[in-house]
Amino acid sequence: MVKVYTIASGKGGTGKTTTSANLGTCLAELGKETYVMDADMGMANLGIIMGLEDVPITLHEVLAGNAKVSEAVYDGPCGVKVVPSGISLKGFQNADPDKLRDVMRELIGKCEFLIIDAPAGISRDGVIPLAIADEVILIVNPELSSMVDALKTKILTELVGGSVKGAILTRATMENTEVSKQKMEEVLGVKVIGIIPEDPNTRRAAAYKSPIVVKYPDSDASKAYRRIAANLAGTTYTGDLEKEKSREGFIERLARSIFKGKK
Parallel, antiparallel, or unpaired: how do β-strands 34-38 and 113-117 relate? parallel
Residue 13 marked ligand-binding = yes
Residue 12 marked ligand-binding = yes
How large is the greatest C-alpha to C-alpha distance in the chain, in angstroms?
56
Q: Are 216 and 205 in contact (CB under 8 A)?
A: yes
Helix ranges, the chain (H): 16-29, 46-49, 59-63, 89-94, 100-108, 124-132, 144-159, 181-188, 200-207, 212-215, 220-233, 241-246, 250-259
Whole-angstrom Cα distance, residue 211 to residue 244?
24
Q: Which string of DSSP letters, residue by residue, matches 187-236?
A: HHSS-EEEEEE--HHHHHHHHTTS-HHHHSTTSHHHHHHHHHHHHHHT--
Bridge partners of residue 37, in order along the sequence: 83, 116
Q: Which residues are annotated as a binding site?
A: 11-18
Q: Which residues are annotated as a binding site for ATP?
A: 11-18
